[in-house]
Amino acid sequence: MGDMMSLIEKAEEKLDRKKSEEFAKKALLGDGFTLEDFRDQLKQITKLGSMESILKMLPSVGPFAGMQQAAQHVDEKQFVRLEAIINSMTPFERRNHEIISGSRRKRIAAGSGTTVQDVNQLLRQYAQMSKMFKQMGKGGLGKAMMRGGMGALGMGGRQKFGR
């Protein structure tokens, strides 16, 4: 089963619950998932430790099958590069990614010590995540979040586990 309870406890200890709930509501209700939010989520993930240690805590069955093997191939430096790319953008660009033209991409790449391809890849990943959040929000998850907070996701704390 992995060590899910340890992972949950570590997340409760290290992550800012209020920030996480605000992010979830904002993203799922379609209020705008920005590159600043993306950067903040990357920071939250790195607070939990290395991806290898996080993925090793997941069970090796069901949707998590193969994750532990994939953990060995995660480049932890990629998080630093992604954050550098986002930090090289102006605050306006972070909130309005659609304005990032070719010349802006070149400037961002130069400012972050990466390539234009890296900037393009980040923007594609961001667009995919944003689209996924919008779809989840339309599916009713966003409305459930407004009614019940994290408890609507079955993550409301120990009461869901009968304790």
pLDDT band at 109 (very low <50, low <70, confident <90, very high): very high
Q: Which own/partner pairs from 123-130 qualify as long-range (CB within 8 Å, at least 24 positions apart)?
A: 123/97, 126/35, 126/38, 126/97, 127/97, 129/33, 129/38, 130/33
Domain presence at residue 30: yes
Residues 6+ away with beta carbon under 8 Å from 153: 24, 141, 144, 145
Domain presence at residue 89: yes
Residue 138 backbone phi and psi in degrees, to 5: -70, -25
Whether residue 60 has pLDDT greater than 90 = no
pLDDT band at 160 (very low <50, low <70, confident <90, very high): very low
Domain presence at residue 149: no
Q: Which of 44, 127, 33 is CA-nearest to residue 79?
A: 44
pLDDT at position 110 is: 97
Domain presence at residue 55: yes
- Over range 33-48, report the average pLDDT: 82
Domain presence at residue 146: no
Q: Which of 65, 58, 53 is CA-nearest to residue 1?
A: 58
pLDDT at position 1 is: 46
Domain CATH for 46: 1.10.260.30
Domain presence at residue 35: yes
pLDDT at position 101 is: 94
Domain around 106: 4-141
Domain presence at residue 46: yes
In this predicted model, which residue has the larger pLDDT, 99 or 14?
Answer: 99
What total of structural domains would you count in the chain? 1
